[in-house]
Amino acid sequence: MLGADVPDPAPNLASVQLRLKVPPERTIVTDELKQLWIDNIGTIRGADKLAFPATRTATASSLGYALLHPDADTVVAAASELKARLKNHPYVYQIDDTLELGNVRYEVQLTDAGRASGLTAISLARQLRNRFYGSEVDQIVRHSEELEVMARYPLERRANISDLHDELISLPNGDVAALSSVAQIVQTQDLKQRQRIDGLPAASVNAFYNVAMISSRELGGLIEGSWLPELEHKYPDLRILPDGSSRDAAKVGRSLATYFPAAVLLIFVLAAIQLRSILQPFYVLLGIPLAFAGSIYLHWVLGYDLSLSSIFGLIAVTGVVINDSLVLLDRYNRIRRDEPRLSVSDAIIEAAQLRARPIVLTTVVGLSPLLYDKSEVLRFLIPLVVSLTGGLIFASIGILFLLPAIMVLVERLRAVVVGENVYSAQERGAANSPAPSRAPKTSWCPSLSA
């Protein structure tokens, strides 16, 4: 469904909902239809806000920033300027912010003449409240529910601001006077919601953009490289923080910076216990940086932005890579234990050959079709699949080719230092067999006889 219900409707709201057919009856995806709708809707006169909400299967890309300053008016001015710049960008179609104004308020303030007549703010407020809001005159119990009976002006007598201006106020001496002669009415309108971050007034601005025309790197580079520094220069003491999905990704990144090293250390300890070695757990962890590099590279190649789903994919690919490395090293240790006369190079090559097919078939080949799946249900999972596929491709190459080479190199270096022999019996026999002896050279000279 496109054009879903607005979560916080305004007093005057008009909405349009499109209930779409399911594939394969519908050949266009929701994101494409949404973008066509945005491109052709034009400008709606008198609309304060135009939103395109959708169900969870439809995706939307956005960039958000939170602006902080000790002065609330400065926050509103800076956020309004940023919103105006984003609104003029050709590829930004929707802007959500916390600058929406609330209901109109009327503040009644006593004048000097009103105070001189003996009126107080409490007595004036009580009269206006009883007449326009109502005064409780009775209570009725009906069906075990208590109902309040209020006495107040009829609706047509309290519907316009002019009714308030024309109201007559009873004075303490028994006379009446027009409200305008004893008080002044000030119309105010504050923000609908007040936001504070780190104890400072703040405002959030989120811009939704067309991913087919511009990427988050390009739009974010324009905003963070040009617009935000200008705002910080224009408004001193202004702080700008990521907001929305960017803030969530930054929060997850900070959590990973704390917990991921601890998880890697725990994996190292468990691998050392299982493999009964201090050196081999380093081989297990070798695939993690390769997996991260492959995930980021595939995102760049396919044009996807790093999102929360991408980060979760990085976490998932770490576990898969560690499992593949552990299985490979376990197979290598079994081969070395069953055939002690086999060299390190022969053993690791045999283990890699045995594990090559499962690694390729169950990881890379199994996930690749999801990259080109057009199903809308799986669209929000594509960044996760990109992280898994790119990480597994790079890590599989490292596990099957780079890891055996490093293991052979390390074992031979250790053999040189410790004095062990890591060659096979055939290699040792070839190395230790004496060189074939050559017959001594003899000279032959024919003799002459008489």
pLDDT tens-digit map of 346-394: 888 888 888 888 877 766 677 777 777 666 566 677 888 888 888 988 8
For residue 425, what pLDDT is reported? 46
Give the residue carrying structure tokens 């940086």.
Answer: 289
pLDDT one-digit tens code per residue, 293-336: 999 998 888 877 777 788 888 888 898 899 888 888 888 888 88
pLDDT at residue 437 in the model? 43
> For residue 429, what pLDDT band results from cuts at 50, 70 and 90?
very low
**From 159-163, 220-224, 342-346, 430-434, the region with the lowest mean pLDDT:** 430-434
pLDDT exceeds 80 at position 233: yes
- What proportion of the chain, given as a percentage, has pLDDT over 90? 14
Higher pLDDT, 150 or 250: 150
Residue 437 is given by DSSP the state P
The per-residue pLDDT of the chain, averaged, comes to: 80
- Relative orientation angle of helices 308-338 and 245-275, to the nearest 10 degrees: 10
Give residue for tokens 């109902």: 147
Q: Name the phi and psi angles at 56, rounded to 5.
A: -65, -20
Helix (H) or strand (E) segment spanning residue 290: helix 287-302
Q: Which residue has the tokens 């390769």?
A: 290
Least confident of 43-52, 77-86, 249-258, 415-424: 415-424
pLDDT-based confidence at 10, cuts 50/70/90?
low
Cα–Cα dist 394/419, whole Å:
35
| CA pair distance 98, 195, nearest whole angstrom | 8
Cα angle 174-175-177, degrees, rounded to a multiple of 5: 140
111 contacts 183 by C-beta, under 8 angstroms: yes
For the cut 90, the answer to whether the pLDDT of residue 159 exceeds it is: no
Pairing verdict, β 62-68 and 239-243: antiparallel
Burial class (CB in 10 A: 0-12, 13-18, 19+), 434: exposed
* Crossing angle of helices 287-302 and 382-397, rounded to 10°: 130
Specify the pLDDT at position 74.
92
Which two tokens mark 278?
């201090």
| Chain length of the chain | 450
Q: What's residue 364's pLDDT?
A: 66
The amino acid occupying position 107 is: E
pLDDT given for residue 5 in this prediction:
47
User: Phi and psi (nearest 5°) for 37?
Assistant: -65, -45
Most confident of 89-103, 116-130, 199-213: 116-130
pLDDT in tens, 61-116: 778 899 999 999 899 999 999 999 998 888 888 888 888 887 888 889 999 998 99
Please, which residues bridge with residue 210 across strands? Answer: none
